[in-house]
Amino acid sequence: MITLTLPDGKKIQLPVKSTGLQVAMAIGPKLAQAALGIVIDGEVRDLSRIIEKDASIRILTFKDVEGKDVFRHSTAHILAHAIKKLYPEAKPTIGPPVEEGFYYDFDDLKIALDDFPKIEQAMNDIVNANHLFERHEWELADVKKFEGDNPYKVELAEDFKKKGWNLTAYRDGDFIDLCEGPHVPSTGVIKAFKLTKIAGAYWRGDQKNKQLTRIYGISFPSDKELKEHVKIQEEAEARDHKKIGKEMELYMLHELVGKGLPLWLPKGEIIKNAIEQFAIETEDKAGFERVSTPHLAKEELFQRSGHLPHYAESMYPKMVMDDGTYYLKSMNCPLHHLIFGHKPRSYRDLPVRLAEYAMVYRNELSGTLAGLSRVRGLEQNDAHIYCMKEQIADELKAVLQMIKNYFDVFGFKQYHFRLSRWDSKNSEKYINEPDNWEYSEEVLRKVLNDVGVAFIEAQNEAAFYGPKIDVQFKNVYGKEETLSTVQLDFAAKTRFNLFYVDKEGKENNEVFVIHRAPLSSHERFMAHLIEHFAGKFPLWLSPEQVRVLTVAERFEMEGQKLVNKLKEQGIRAHLDASMETINKKVRNAQLDQVNYILVFGEKEMQGQLSVRTRDNKVLGPVAVDAFIGQLKEEIKHKK
C-alpha cells in the first residue's frame, strides 16, 4: 500500500501502482468526474500515470490555475492535430497555455480568420472521437523517426537532451506530438472551445528567426462557460482602449512612423498634459526636483549602468557616430545618476529626489505590441530618490502612499501589490550579489508589511539591479499588467561612484537609489484610464468639457461669446453652430463624451443656461456665473 497526504492533511491508503484517477475516485465520484490532473509532491501529472510511492497529492479541476493549464494545453494539442489533418505540410512548434487561453505556433501555414470554422469543425471531430491521451517516453531517435520532417521539434528535443531532460510525446488517435504534457484523460473532456485570433510570432521569441503563424484560442468545460466568456469579451471590446482611442481621436499609429510608436492627437495630448501637470504638482509638494535628459547617450554609459550586459535585448540597436557609439535610452536612471554625482553632496542634502517625464525606447517584438499597453516609445513618470540606508524605509513608504493617493483620485479599486524578487539561478539576468539581494528584498518586504497592504511574492520578476514592488492591474480582457513600480537599487552606488559626505566629513558610498514610476508611462496609464472610464473621463481630464449648441444661425455670435467666457476661466469649451438639427447635435456631443452640453437659444440669451449631461440628465436653468463656478469646483477637486 502507499500513503497519500491530501491538502487538508488527511491521509488515504491505496494499492501500489494506483493512478491519479483512482485516487480521485477514492476521494469521491464528483471529484473524479471533474478531475483534470494531479499534483504529486509539487509535480503536475496526468491522471493516468502511476504513483510510485508515498506522496503529498492534490487533484486538479478547472477551478485550479494548474487545472486550467492542463485543460487548455490539451486543447492546443487538439488544435495541432486538426491543423495537421487539414494542412499536412504545416509544422507544429509549441502550444502552451497562457493566462487568457492557449496558442499554437505553426510554420508553413497560411490561413485567415475565415478558416476558423473549418478548423473548429476538425477539432470537434477529434473531441467527439474521444481519443485517449497516451503518454510515451521517447529517445532522440524516436523524435527523428516521428517528427523528422519538422526541424522545430528536433531542435527542441536536442536542446532538452543537452539539459538532461526526459523526452515525452502524447498520442491521440492517429496523431502523436513531442510534448511535455500533462494532458486531460481524453479528447472528449474538452467540451467547449473557440479560436480567437491569428498573429505573427518569431520562433523562440527571437526576431532573427523565422516568423511563424500563431493561432490563439480559449476553452472551457461547458458551453455555458464559453458563452459567458464570449459575452464578457464583447463587453471588454466595447471598452478596449484601442477602439475608444480611435473613436475619440486620442492617438494614432502610422506605418510610416513604425509599430509601437504612437502619435498623440490633440484630444489625447490634453488628457496626457492634465495627468502630467497633476504629477508635477504632486511631486513638487513631495520635494522632488525636475530635470530633463536627452533621448540617447554613449555606449560607455550603458555599459557602466549594466544595461548593455543585462538588458541589451530590450534596447534599440547601436548607432555608430563619428565620435563614438550611441544608444537610444531604455531607462532614465543612468543619466539621473550622472546628475546626482555632478557635484559633492552632504548628508544634509539627502534624500535627493530627481523627477522627469521622459521618453525612453524599448525594442519590443512586433508581435507583442498592443495599442498603448505595450509600445516601443514611452514617456515615463520617472523619478529617482538618492538616500542613505536609514532613509530607505521612510522614502519607500512615502512613495507607496503617493501611489495609493493617485489611485484614489482616479477611482482605481481593483489592484494588488507584488514583491518581485530575483532568481539566483538566472545569472545572466541579474547582478550576482546575493547578500545585497537578500537585504534589499527584506527591506521591501518589511515596508509592505508596515504599510499594511496585502501582497504576493514572485520570483524572477526583479529588475537586474534590485528587487521591486509592482502594482498589478487586470485589463478589460482579464490579463494582468504592471501599472506602477518601485525599485530598490543597490548597484548604482558602486557603478557610478555615488557618495555623500557624512557627519565626520568622510565620503560615504552607501547611497541607495529608489526608482519609482507611480503613474507608469503615459501610454500604459492612458490605456488603463480609457478602459477604466470607458472613454467617459471626469471633467478635469476630459478633452472637451463643454459644448455649446446653437438652435439657429442667429444665435451663433452670442454662443461664441459664451464659449470665449468659458475658455477665459480655463474651461475647455467648443461651439457647434452647424446646420444639423439640435437632436443630432446633442447626440453627437454625447457620442464624443462631452461632459456638459448647453443648448443655446432665446432663453439662454437672457443668461439662464439649460444644461444636459452626456448621460442625458437635464440640469437647470442655471445662471452662467453659477455654472462656471460649479465647473471650476469640480475641476479643482478632481471629482
Nearest Cα to 328, choosing from 345, 308, 310? 308
Band (pLDDT 50/70/90 cuts) for residue 477 is confident
- For residues 69-76, average pLDDT: 97
- For residues 577-582, average pLDDT: 93
pLDDT of 4 over the 80 cut: yes
Quick one: cell of 25?
475516485
Reported as a single tens digit per residue, the pLDDT across 320-368 is 999 999 999 999 999 999 999 999 999 999 999 999 999 999 999 887 8
114 in the same domain as 78: yes
Reported as a single tens digit per residue, the pLDDT across 218-258 is 999 999 999 999 998 898 899 999 999 999 999 999 999 99
Q: Of 533, 565, 599, at which residue does a domain stop?
A: 533
**Does 327 map to a domain?**
no
501 in the same domain as 373: yes
**Does 451 map to a domain?**
yes
pLDDT of 167 over the 90 cut: yes
Nearest Cα to 470, choosing from 486, 459, 458? 486
Euclidean distance between the first and the last CA atom of the chain, given in angstroms as a whole number: 67
Quick one: cell of 293?
535628459
The catalytic residue positions are: 333, 362, 380, 382, 384, 468, 515
- For residues 148-160, average pLDDT: 92
DSSP 603-631: GGGGTEEEEEETT--EEEEEEHHHHHHHH
Quick one: cell of 443?
527591506
pLDDT for position 607 = 78
Q: Are 172 and 149 in contact (CB under 8 A)?
A: no
Least reliable range by pLDDT among 154-168, 183-197, 421-435, 604-618: 421-435
Band (pLDDT 50/70/90 cuts) for residue 466 is confident
By DSSP bridging, strand 416-420 and strand 289-290 are unpaired
Which residues are CB-neighbours of 240 under 8 A, at least 6 positions away?
371, 476, 531
Higher pLDDT, 126 or 367: 126
**Does 312 map to a domain?**
no
| Other CB atoms within 10 A of residue 143 CB | 22
Band (pLDDT 50/70/90 cuts) for residue 310 is confident
Q: Of 191, 212, 236, at which residue does a domain stop?
A: 236
Q: What rounded mean pLDDT belongs to the chain?
A: 93
| CA distance to 489, 520, 525, per residue, from 381 (Å) | 18, 6, 10
pLDDT for position 362 = 94
| CA distance to 70, 114, 508, per residue, from 176 (Å) | 17, 27, 64
**Does 298 map to a domain?**
no
503 in the same domain as 573: no
338 in the same domain as 197: no
**Does 538 map to a domain?**
no
Reported as a single tens digit per residue, the pLDDT across 503-561 is 999 999 999 999 999 999 999 999 999 999 999 999 999 999 999 999 999 999 999 99
| Other CB atoms within 10 A of residue 563 CB | 21
pLDDT of 262 over the 90 cut: yes
Band (pLDDT 50/70/90 cuts) for residue 479 is confident
What residues make up the domain containing 460? Answer: 252-291+332-533
pLDDT for position 514 = 95
